[in-house]
């Protein structure tokens, strides 16, 4: 079916019902990956018409599926609802069966990553959400009843132009980086860029041909990076983990298979949510059997269990690693150490970070459940909104629909498993806040008998 025929069945978008204001936009969405596209479409269908989606990347390079993701297949079941926002004709299954037939879909066990990237691109073209590419958010500040955004817009000549725009609400659909960035040990940050990288970086793995590479960490992204390095011709790849086993059996952040747990996690009390996430963090993020088997297919794959790194330094054009199991020398090292979500480390949030309530500000756990990293994660309200340290803070106009929502909601927002119910929850919250804010600005209505009625 042609995409125009699919959209024709939706009928026209509802009229924009939001009161006009002096702000340039009612909602700005930062990030045009699968979440940002889904949010942009849902806003339009909800009658919130003055919204815009921006992304720093070039067309075709948004999100991670074609840039830094390295798994062969998605880690979520193909039957889960995705960004189609309840419309079956926009689902992955409908798209795939239109191209290849029902029998071909039935043979798919897990969705191949590159096929999923093609579907997300098709979804974006079909729902026609305009994306302003080469547009990076570099700063946020409050101003009466809206937010002031500082943007860097890169032109065709490669030069960045500073621009200022205003919005009533801001959605950060910034994926795995969320409100922070890569979590790196201090010694790793001190290594020169030609010797070290994080799994979230774009890495030219062909440079490792014939070399020896180390990967710190044993999650799925770490194992995928190890496998790609071996596939590119690395002689050996050594994976180091602090754990005594690679596959973790026990507490897990991935609660998505239990729909009841997933949809109600944010309604649990703070102590319950904190305990669940601390136990999961201490257990470590397990790699998948698929990622492990992919790396183990190569004779040059080495595993170092119970071998955390104590230090790493550049030494004669290589990296010398001091680990719990001894000293090692490598041509290149990759950190598969995940992400942290402290907004004080995020350049565009640095100015307003002192106003953002973190989990450490809202909940004081018993000493045995203390966790420094989780204490620095933003505390979110039920509509993914930031919470201010002071009541009524302007930061409540900012919604974090990203991995930073994991502590408050149990799963990282923006993942495929979060989209079907997370996007409607977010858009409902945005609509609610805009509506009641508009109501406060309406003139009182005076009845003929002189009685003043509330608007």
CATH number at 210 reads 3.50.50.60
Whether 143 is covered by a domain: the verdict is yes
Cβ partners under 8 Å of residue 292, min gap 6: 223, 246, 247
Q: At what angle do helices 34-45 and 113-127 cross, to 10 degrees?
A: 30
DSSP codes, 257-320: TSHHHHHHGGGS-HHHHHHHHHHHHHH--PPPHHHHHHHHTSTTEEEETT--EEEEEEETTEEE
* CA separation for the pair 374, 342 (Å, rounded): 9
Whether 275 is covered by a domain: the verdict is no
Q: Long-range pairs for 352-361 at CB < 8 Å and ≥24 separation?
A: 352/140, 352/141, 352/142, 352/394, 352/395, 354/389, 355/388, 355/389, 355/390, 355/393, 355/394, 355/395, 356/386, 356/387, 356/388, 356/389, 356/395, 357/386, 357/387, 357/388, 357/389, 359/274, 359/407, 361/389
Q: Are residues 233 and 160 in the same domain?
A: no
Q: Are residues 8 and 157 in the same domain?
A: yes
Last-in-domain residue among 322, 337, 352: 337
Last-in-domain residue among 318, 337, 356: 337
Q: Are residues 24 and 123 in the same domain?
A: yes
**For position 77, what pLDDT does the model report?**
80
Q: Are residues 159 and 116 in the same domain?
A: yes
Q: Are residues 17 and 46 in the same domain?
A: yes
Q: Are residues 39 and 87 in the same domain?
A: yes
DSSP 11: -
Q: Which two tokens stand for residue 130?
A: 């305009």
Q: Are residues 190 and 311 in the same domain?
A: yes
Q: Are residues 150 and 201 in the same domain?
A: no
Provide the domain limits for residue 213.
Answer: 184-248+284-337
Q: How do the residues of the chain divide into helix, strand and coil, expressed in percent and rounded to 5?
A: 35, 20, 40
Q: Are residues 119 and 206 in the same domain?
A: no
How many separate domains does the chain show?
Answer: 2
- pTM exceeds 0.85, yes or no: yes
Q: Which residue has the tokens 């993942």?
A: 415
Point out which residues pair with 380 in neighbouring strands: 386
**For position 89, what pLDDT does the model report?**
86
Q: Are residues 130 and 192 in the same domain?
A: no
How would you classify the pairing of strands 51-54 and 131-132?
Answer: parallel
Whether 360 is covered by a domain: the verdict is no
Q: Are residues 40 and 144 in the same domain?
A: yes
**For position 449, what pLDDT does the model report?**
59
Q: Are residues 73 and 92 in the same domain?
A: yes
List, for the chain, all residue ranges whose pLDDT scores fall below the cut of 50: 252-253, 453, 455
Whether 164 is covered by a domain: the verdict is yes
SS3 at position 353: helix
Last-in-domain residue among 337, 352, 378: 337
């Amino acid at each position: 079916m042609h995409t125009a025929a699919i959209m024709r069945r939706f009928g026209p978008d509802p009229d924009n019902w939001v009161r006009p204001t002096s702000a340039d936009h009612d909602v700005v969405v930062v990030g045009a990956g699968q979440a940002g596209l889904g949010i942009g479409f849902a806003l339009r269908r909800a009658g919130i018409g003055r919204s815009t989606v921006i992304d720093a990347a070039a067309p075709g390079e948004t999100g991670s599926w074609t840039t830094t993701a390295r798994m062969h297949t998605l880690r979520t079941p193909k039957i889960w609802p995705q960004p189609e926002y309840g419309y079956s004709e926009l689902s992955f299954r409908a798209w795939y069966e239109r191209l290849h037939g029902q029998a071909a879909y039935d043979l798919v066990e897990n969705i191949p990553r590159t096929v999923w990237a093609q579907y997300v691109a098709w979804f974006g073209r079909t729902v026609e959400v305009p994306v302003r590419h080469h547009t990076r958010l570099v700063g946020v500040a409050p101003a009466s009843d809206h937010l002031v955004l500082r943007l860097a817009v890169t032109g065709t000549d490669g030069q960045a132009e500073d621009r200022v725009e205003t919005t009533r609400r801001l959605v950060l659909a910034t994926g795995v980086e969320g409100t922070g960035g890569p979590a790196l040990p201090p010694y790793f940050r001190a290594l020169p860029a030609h010797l070290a990288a994080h799994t979230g970086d774009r890495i030219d793995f062909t440079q490792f041909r014939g070399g020896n590479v180390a990967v710190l960490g044993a999650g799925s992204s770490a194992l995928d990076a190890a496998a790609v390095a071996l596939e590119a011709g690395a002689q050996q790849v050594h994976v180091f983990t602090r754990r005594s086993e690679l596959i973790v059996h026990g507490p897990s952040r991935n609660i998505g298979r239990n729909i009841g747990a997933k949809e109600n996690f944010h309604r649990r009390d703070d102590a319950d949510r904190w305990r669940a996430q601390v136990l999961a963090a201490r257990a470590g993020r397990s790699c998948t059997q698929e990622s492990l088997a992919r790396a183990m297919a190569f004779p040059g794959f080495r595993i170092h269990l119970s071998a955390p790194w104590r230090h790493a330094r550049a030494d004669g054009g290589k990296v010398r690693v001091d680990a719990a199991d001894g000293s090692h020398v490598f041509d290149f090292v990759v950190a598969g150490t995940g992400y942290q979500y402290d907004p004080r480390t995020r350049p565009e949030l640095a100015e307003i970070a002192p106003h953002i309530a973190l989990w450490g500000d809202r909940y004081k756990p018993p000493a045995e459940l203390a966790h420094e990293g989780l204490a620095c994660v933003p505390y979110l309200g039920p509509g993914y909104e930031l919470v201010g340290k002071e009541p009524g803070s302007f930061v409540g106009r900012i919604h974090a629909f990203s991995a930073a929502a994991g502590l408050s909601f149990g799963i990282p927002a923006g993942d495929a498993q979060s989209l079907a119910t997370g996007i409607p929850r977010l858009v409902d919250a945005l609509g609610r806040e805009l509506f009641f804010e508009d109501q406060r600005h309406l003139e009182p209505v005076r009845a003929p008998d002189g009685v003043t009625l509330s608007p």
